[in-house]
């Protein structure tokens, strides 16, 4: 079974803090993704990566950055957290035929 | 640009009743279509997919979806739901031009006794 783990299930941060969300996969997949999930908006793609040290902007990259130094790890960084970044963050990897495998999510609250 | 519409945000249904969750997409090119399910406090799981071939696809837990190209739809159905089917269901479309999955806004299925 594909396993995608995220460093925290729940996270509370203050406005202006730098926040790191970590995602690790154990299946040697090249493609990895970060989404945020908000009620009524579904999933929106923030960033994705097709290889180590490679990144591409998704639909809503503003206020976020990413890092992929190793194939199995894909990090999402909020440089200066704001209250409108309170959300559920989901990491995913992609196997063949565009199937994506998701982690359990990190519910981030910015106060 | 591709888009996915799930018209129903919530669908309440009694156990053992049939259900249909609607999904329509817009794309002028060939598409791959997916349904994902999200149980409470969990990430998304792939439920079923259409890539090519038979337009009717099935999941292991009794759901099915039919790709209708003329109506640009990929509705999800189950003839008899169980309480354990309570979850949020997301339709998604992939096209080569966009090179990424686009998700609908989700449909919350609530199965009641």
Mind listing the pLDDT tens digit for each residue in B87-110? Answer: 999 999 987 665 678 899 999 999
Q: What single-letter DSSP state applies at residue B107?
A: E
Which residue, among A6, A30, A44, has the nearest Cα to A94 in the 3D structure? A30
**Partners of residue B102 on adjacent β-strands:** B93
Q: Residue-wise pLDDT tens for chain A (111 aa)?
A: 778 999 899 999 999 999 999 999 998 888 999 999 998 899 999 999 998 988 999 999 999 999 999 999 999 999 999 999 999 999 999 877 678 899 999 999 999
Q: What is d(CA A88, CA A90) in angstroms, rounded to the nearest whole number?
A: 7
- Within 8 A of A43 by CB-CB distance, chain B residues are 44, 90, 103
In terms of Cβ atoms closer than 10 Å to its own Cβ (0-12, 13-18, 19+), residue B2 is middle
pLDDT surpassing 90 at residue B60: no
pLDDT surpassing 90 at residue B21: yes
Residue B10 in contact with residue B34, Cβ under 8 Å? no
CB atoms B104 and A101 under 8 Å: no
Give pLDDT, residue B38: 95
Give pLDDT, residue B64: 97
- Within 8 A of B9 by CB-CB distance, chain A residues are 40
* Mean pLDDT of the region B75-92: 96
Mutant choice from B43, B88, B103 vs A, greatest count of A C-beta within 10 A: B43
Give pLDDT, residue A20: 97
CB atoms B34 and A98 under 8 Å: yes
A36, two tokens: 């945020």
CB-nearest to B105 from A40, A92, A100 is: A40
Instruction: List, in order, residues 6 or more apart from B54 with CB less than 8 Å away.
Output: none
Segment B1-12, tens digit of pLDDT: 678 999 999 999
Give pLDDT, residue B100: 79
Give pLDDT, residue A27: 87
Q: What is d(CA A102, CA A40) in angstroms, rounded to the nearest whole number?
A: 19
Give pLDDT, residue A40: 87
CB atoms A45 and B94 under 8 Å: no
- Within 8 A of B32 by CB-CB distance, chain A residues are 97-98
CA distances from B63 to A18, B89, B91, B106 (A): 43, 12, 13, 16
Rounded to the nearest integer, the mean pLDDT of chain B is 91
Give pLDDT, residue A81: 97
Residue B34 in contact with residue B94, Cβ under 8 Å? yes
CA distances from A37 to A111, B67, B96 (A): 18, 26, 23
């Amino acid at each position: 079974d594909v396993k995608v783990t995220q460093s925290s299930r729940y996270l509370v941060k203050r406005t202006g803090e730098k926040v790191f969300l970590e995602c690790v996969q154990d299946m040697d997949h090249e493609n990895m993704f970060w989404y945020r999930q908000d009620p009524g908006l579904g999933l929106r793609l923030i960033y994705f990566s097709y290889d180590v040290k490679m990144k591409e902007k998704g639909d809503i990259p503003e206020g976020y950055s990413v890092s992929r130094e190793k194939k199995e790890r894909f990090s999402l960084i909020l440089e200066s957290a704001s209250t409108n970044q309170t959300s559920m963050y989901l990491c995913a990897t992609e196997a063949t035929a565009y199937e994506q495998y998701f982690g359990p999510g990190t519910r981030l609250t910015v106060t | 640009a591709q888009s996915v519409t799930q018209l129903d945000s919530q669908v309440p249904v009694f156990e053992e009743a049939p259900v249909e969750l609607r999904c329509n997409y817009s794309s002028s090119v060939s598409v791959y279509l997916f349904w994902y399910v999200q149980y409470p406090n969990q990430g998304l799981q792939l439920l079923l997919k259409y890539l090519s071939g038979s337009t009717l696809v099935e999941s292991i837990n009794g759901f099915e979806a039919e790709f209708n190209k003329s109506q640009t739809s990929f509705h999800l159905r189950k003839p008899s739901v169980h309480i354990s089917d309570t979850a949020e269901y997301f339709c998604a479309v992939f096209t080569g031009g966009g090179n990424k999955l686009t998700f609908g806004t989700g449909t919350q299925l609530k199965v009641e006794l």
